[in-house]
Copies of this chain bind each other. A is one copy, B any other.
Amino acid sequence: MFAVVLKEDGYSGQATGPRIENAADWLAAAELPMPKAGAGQVVVKLRAASVNPSDLHFIKGEYGQPRVKGAAAGFEGCGDVVEAGAGAEGLAGKRVAFVAAAAGAWAEFVLCEAMNCIPLRADISDDDGAAQIVNPLTAMAMVDIAAQAKAALVISAAASQLGKLMIGLAQDLGLETIALVRRAEAIAPLEALGATTVLDVTSAAFADDFAKASRALKPRIFLDAVADQTSEQVFANMPNGARWVVYGNLGANPPMLTQIGQLIFMGKQIEGFWLTNWMRTTPAKDQMRVVGEVQARFADGRWRTDVAARIGLRDVIGGLAGATQVSDGKVIIEP
């Protein structure tokens, strides 16, 4: 079977961000043997895979798990179960959304753990099915942090697909949001989605505007995909008890902590969020409830996957870098 495979093993030891200039630096086309489902596993014939920032971090060797040279790349997609191992017979023939925990989604056939597959309702499109797990569960789990804290939240890179999911979810839960974007054109669409305040971090007035919004809305949770010096300034202008929850590292330069005293006297805190860890530590029944809510949201149109570009599986090497330049929608890979 055809697959897009990793050229390197392990970690790079670098942190250059989820951007690539040429996929051929990291990926190669290959013919691999058909995968074989063991106990508790299934083989999925790919319909569509989605490209997340974590995929780009991973192929470059800067994600939280090591690469295996020659194995297929890609964490997430949807497709049809064509072989089910012992204990996974219930999934046979079903269309499922999946995460391939050790990667492998950018291939004609994908080996998955049955517990990482979610049967899809008929009213969910393949595009939505291909981006059903990583972003939606991350959105649900992270907005829940703000819901538990009963606080307004700040969302950086808010024009991203994940950012848009979080804005809608926060609005449904009655939580106010300060959405941060990098382009003036992104403001109106996010206001239409229900963001309380949308600010362009590249504007000269940003620091003042954010300070004003922070005084008005008192946000105590900052869900941040960027982690640069602007993020640090945002955190520094949040009130007592603020938590800076970093889940991505889009920023090119590491931030300096200019307000150490706020950690001490204002009870502020800096932490991370990783969906893999959430999945390891959240009880299965709570995860299933969240998964059900996610599908209901896609089925009734409250959420949808904005597709920025589509590329064929055989065009990934040549087309991935260009397709991932667009930041406010998903790249879908089709076999």
Contact = CB atoms under 8 A, between A and B. Distances in A.
A330 interface: no
Interface residues of A, number: 32
Interface stretch (A68-76, A214-222, A247-255): A247-255
29 contacts: A15-B259, A15-B260, A64-B261, A64-B264, A64-B265, A227-B257, A227-B260, A246-B264, A249-B260, A249-B261, A251-B260, A254-B256, A254-B258, A254-B260, A255-B256, A256-B256, A257-B257, A260-B272, A263-B271, A263-B272, A264-B272, A264-B274, A265-B274, A267-B272, A267-B274, A268-B272, A269-B271, A270-B270, A270-B271
A265 B258 CA distance: 24
Contacts of A271: 263, 268-270
Contacts of A258: 254
| Pairs A-B, 4 closest by C-beta atoms | A64-B265, A263-B272, A264-B272, A270-B270
Contacts of A64: 261, 264-266
A148 interface: no
A113 interface: no
Residue among A63, A259, A260, A272 facing the most chain B CB atoms (10 A cut-off): A260
Interface of A: 15, 62-64, 227, 246-249, 251, 254-274, 277
